[in-house]
Amino acid sequence: MAKARQKTEAKASKNKLTEAQIAVHWKEEKYFYPSKKFKAQANLTDPSFVKKFSEKNFPKCFDLYAQLLDWDKSWKKTLDASNPPFWKWFVGGKLNACYNCVDRHLAQHKNKAALIFVPEPEHESAAVITYQELYKRVNETAAMLRDFAGLKTGDRVTIHMPMIPELPITMLACARLGVIHSVVFGGFSGEACGLRAADSGSRVLIYADGYHRNGKWVDHKPSADIAVETARKEGQDIDKVLFWKRYPGHYRSESPMIVNRDFFVEDILKDYRGQTVEPVSQDAEAPLFLMYTSGTTGKPKGCQHRTGGYLAYAAGTSKYYQDIHPEDVYWCMADIGWITGHSYIVYGPLALGATSVLYEGVPQFPDAARPWRIAERLDVNIFHTSPTAIRMLRKAGGDEPKKYNYHFKHMTTVGEPIEPEVWRWYYEVVGKGEAVIVDTWWQTETGGFLCTTKPALDPMKPGSAGPPALGIYPVIWDENGQEVKPGTGKAGNICIRNPWPGIMQTIWGSSERFVNQYYKKYCKNPKSKDWRDWPYYAADGAVLPADGYYRILGRVDDVINVAGHRLGTKEVESACLSVPDIAEAAVVPVVDEIKGRVPEVYISLKPGVSPSKAVKDKVVSTIETIIGKIARPKQIHIVPDMPKTRSGKIMRRVLAAISNHMDTGDITTLANPDIVAQIRELVQGRVTGPLQDGPEDIKLFGEEK
């Protein structure tokens, strides 16, 4: 008996995959080389600039990014690392982010387009906002926020707005005052917004009455009422809600305004016409904004970004990796409600005095050629989007780009791994074989790019983010802290050995969580005051071939990357559990042709409740109410029981394998191994096809750590 058990356990431990043990079999892709024509104008062509970022010049090398900004008072020390992992960047320096993105461009570029707003309805013409007009509008808005809303430096304000110019205007007005903005993605529900508002301690919410999305008018006002109610339940009173109107002069919501709480911005702004507000000179370390993101727990965390370091990093990477020149028309199709929009629609491009295009709608409206028509009309030459958008545009209109006369010199992909086949379509068809591609790997927490090729200088490899960005020193470790050497074909956890200016300061209100989440895993000595002992743990799996091109495999924690958006499985599970009929819930990622991964939900019901479509519908509507439509599961499976370990933990890894038609691996150590076959039959039916060798992130998903 004992022998048999030993044998089983030995087999189980052999079968238990760790990140480092997974051999990643993938075909090495051929390099693509940038055209000579492009090289001539790339911002990084000076090789001595690149050399200045060699490791021996750390951290001083980052002064080169900070020098792209105007400082009221220059910094005394580049990095103060005396209290790891709470780094201080550009210590003693003072600046204002809004001044850097707006005022300082007036002298030479006041008539240049800062923002070009493209409404989703195609019959509405694009609206240009010059730096001069941006300056006026930001100042008036700042005066209103200060004098009418009573906001002062250090206060937080939650902004739940769609992609309209008033969103960056509001953000910049906050930055002018030193008010910390927290933008919540427009597609999140009112409840999700209210929870974030409460966590950040916001007394003021800023909304829009509605917006266009995929051909429909979305009435956004009711979401504000829910947000206020949710915040109140959490103990946070909201004094004022300010509403921008999508169409000035016309209120397009059916929902009534609440007297003394809800105000139309256009009414109030009348009192502030022509007013200017002195930009508040901020300490480099003063928080600029919060951006909530999903992690391993049920509660989203507010990533707190600093003013000086963040802006320097966003500006530096925009200049050298987005390669923005003064004459370029730059279009990033992300949403400002995510970090990509903050760094690479608003702060980075505007700090450089560039022209940034803002598109209200979805890429495929009214058809899959819309982005190419916009590019042709505005003569966009730098384009930035996600693999999900690329996959969708390819599927819905693979030949469309050929019909339009636009020419990109540069294209970015961000947010998810891109399949080499999709990369090649992006390169050959969208980029017409002329544009370089940068595949940029980074995260909400990191403020800007961590891995990417140098545009026009490094060869490109489809599916690989490539070498580290300037001044970033990554390493891959296995679970035991052993380095996974380049060229071994093994995957491991990618970490960054050194601090950099774009890294978040902390998690709002929870420094302990910040340390535990990002620094504890590979900290060599918690008492150490040496930054070398405090590498940043990214929670992404990666593999590194001998050529030094990092290939990112995906999350190794309980985060599902749905269409490039982070969704915490625990958040979805706790939403399911708020339905009274549900006993247990488990959420797993499933491969999706367009969105990369989508969540699938497994639930078991409380005794006496019978399975029905009504229960499933209730779960879906609850998830949409608590989180938003982006979390809508692909399927819901009602199961008699969950596969569990002997200690009662749900084995999500087994469920993920079933949902993806993959091998479940060894299940003999489960408390209830028989349930696995039952669930497989329930999900896949009786006819089971051959099992697939699925992607690495799914193999790793739900692995007990």
Helix pair angle (190-200, 221-233), 10° resolution: 50
* Other beta carbons within 10 Å of 529: 11
Q: How far is the CB of 657 from ligand WTA (least distance, A)?
A: 20
- Integer-rounded Cα Rg, in Å, for the chain is 25
Complex with ligand WTA: residue 294 or 659, whichever CB lies closer? 294
Decide if residue 440 touches ligand WTA (CB under 6 A): yes
Whole-angstrom distance, CA of residue 84 vs CA of residue 528: 8
CB of 565 to ligand WTA, least distance (A): 6
Q: Rounded to the nearest whole angstrom, what is the least distance from the CB of residue 441 to ligand WTA in the complex?
A: 4
The contact mask relative to ligand WTA for 88-127 (x = CB under 6 A, - = no) is ----------------------------------------
146, 555, 595, 597: which one contacts ligand WTA (CB under 6 A)? 555
Q: How far is CA 112 from the centre of its chain?
A: 29
Residues 6+ apart with CB under 8 A from 157: 145, 149, 151, 174, 179, 180, 181, 182, 202, 203, 204, 205, 206
- The whole-angstrom separation of Cα 309 and Cα 234 is 32
Rounded distance between C-alpha atoms, residue 112 and residue 326, angstroms: 10
Beta carbons of 652 and 588 less than 8 angstroms apart: yes
Among 178, 300, 417, 468, binds ligand WTA (CB under 6 A): 417
Question: Which of 387/397 has CB closer to ligand WTA?
Answer: 387
For residue 211, state whether it binds ligand WTA (rule: CB under 6 A): no
- Nearest distance in Å: CB 613, ligand WTA: 33
Asked if 439 touches ligand WTA (CB under 6 A), the answer is: yes
Q: In this chain, which of 99, 338, 365, 531 binds ligand WTA, going by CB under 6 A?
A: 338
Asked if residue 588 binds ligand WTA (CB under 6 A), the reply is: no
Nearest residue (CB) to ligand WTA, 143 versus 560: 560
Asked if 43 is part of the footprint of ligand WTA (rule: CB under 6 A), the reply reads no
209 or 439: CB nearest ligand WTA:
439
Q: Distance (Å, rounded) from C-alpha 321 to C-alpha 564?
A: 20
Q: Is 340 in the site for ligand WTA (CB under 6 A)?
A: yes
- Nearest CB to ligand WTA, comparing residues 191 and 540: 540
552 binds ligand WTA (CB under 6 A): yes
Q: At what angle do helices 190-200 and 613-626 cross, to 10 degrees?
A: 40
Q: Which 598-657 residues touch ligand WTA, going by CB under 6 A?
A: none
Is residue 517 near ligand WTA by the rule CB under 6 A? no
Q: Chain centroid to CA 290: how far?
A: 13
* Residue 355 Cα distances to 102, 125, 297, 322, 689, angstroms: 12, 17, 39, 13, 52
Residue number of the CB closest to ligand WTA reads: 444
Q: Which is nearer to ligand WTA, 221 or 555 (CB)?
A: 555
* Region of 185-193, 337-345, 352-360, 600-608 interacting with ligand WTA (CB under 6 A): 337-345
Q: Which stretch binds ligand WTA (CB under 6 A): 411-419, 641-649, 651-659, 686-694?
A: 411-419
CA 699, CA 657: separation in Å to the nearest integer?
7
Phi, psi of 149 (to 5 degrees): -85, -10
The residues, ordered by sequence, that sit 6+ positions from 521 with a Cβ below 8 Å of its Cβ are: 493, 537
Neighbours of 607 (CB within 10 A): 5
Q: Say how many C-beta atoms besides its own lie within 10 A of residue 254's C-beta.
A: 10
Nearer of residues 504 and 515 to ligand WTA, judged by Cβ: 504
Nearer to ligand WTA, 243 or 338 (CB): 338
Q: Which is nearer to ligand WTA, 400 or 558 (by Cβ)? A: 558
Q: Is 461 an interacting residue with respect to ligand WTA (CB under 6 A)?
A: no
CA dist 181 and 492 (Å) reads 35
Assess 443 for contact with ligand WTA (CB under 6 A). Answer: yes
Token reading at 65: 């990014």
Q: Give the C-alpha separation, 132 to 111, whole Å.
A: 6
Candidates 186, 190, 471, 554; binder of ligand WTA (CB under 6 A) is: 554
The answer to whether the CB of 199 falls within 8 A of the CB of 182 is: no
Nearer to ligand WTA, 236 or 452 (CB): 452
Query: Of 134 and 339, which CB lies nearer to ligand WTA in the complex structure?
Result: 339
Q: Rank residues 303 and 642 by Cβ distance to ligand WTA and give the closer one.
A: 303
Q: Is beta strand 436-440 parallel, antiparallel or unpaired with respect to 410-414?
A: parallel
Copy the structure tokens of residue 80: 């103060």
Distances (CA, A) of 624 to 176, 195, 637: 35, 15, 17
Nearer to ligand WTA, 146 or 595 (CB): 595
**Assigned token pair, 612:** 């029905």
CB nearer ligand WTA, residue 464 or residue 604: 464
Partnered with residue 262 across adjacent β-strands are: 241
- Supply the minimum distance, in Å, between the C-beta of residue 556 and ligand WTA: 9
Q: How far is the CB of 460 from ligand WTA (least distance, A)?
A: 13
State which of positions 520-549 bind ligand WTA (CB under 6 A): 540
442 is a site residue for ligand WTA (CB under 6 A): yes
Asked whether position 427 contacts ligand WTA by CB under 6 A, the answer is no
Contact call for residues 206 and 158 (beta carbons, < 8 A) = yes
Give the closest residue to 590 by CA, choosing from 543, 650, 636: 636
> Look-up: residue for tokens 């367009």?
594
Interface residue with ligand WTA, options 210, 316, 348, 415 (CB under 6 A)? 415
Cis peptide upstream of residue 695 (ω within 30 degrees of 0): no
Kindly state the smallest distance separating residue 443's Cβ from ligand WTA, in Å. 4
Q: Is 339 in the site for ligand WTA (CB under 6 A)?
A: yes
Cβ distance 433 to 447 under 8 Å?
A: no
Could you say whether residue 444 binds ligand WTA (CB under 6 A)? Answer: yes
Contact pattern for ligand WTA over residues 282 through 321, marking x by CB under 6 A: -----------x----------------------------
| Site for ligand WTA contains 518 (CB under 6 A) | no
Q: Is 220 in the site for ligand WTA (CB under 6 A)?
A: no
In this structure, the number of other CB atoms found within 10 A of the CB of residue 539 comes to 20
CB of 108 to ligand WTA, least distance (A): 31
Which two three-digit tokens encode residue 365? 């409206």
DSSP secondary-structure letter at 308? H
The contact set with ligand WTA (CB under 6 A) reads: 293, 338-340, 414-417, 439-444, 465, 540, 552, 554-555, 561, 566
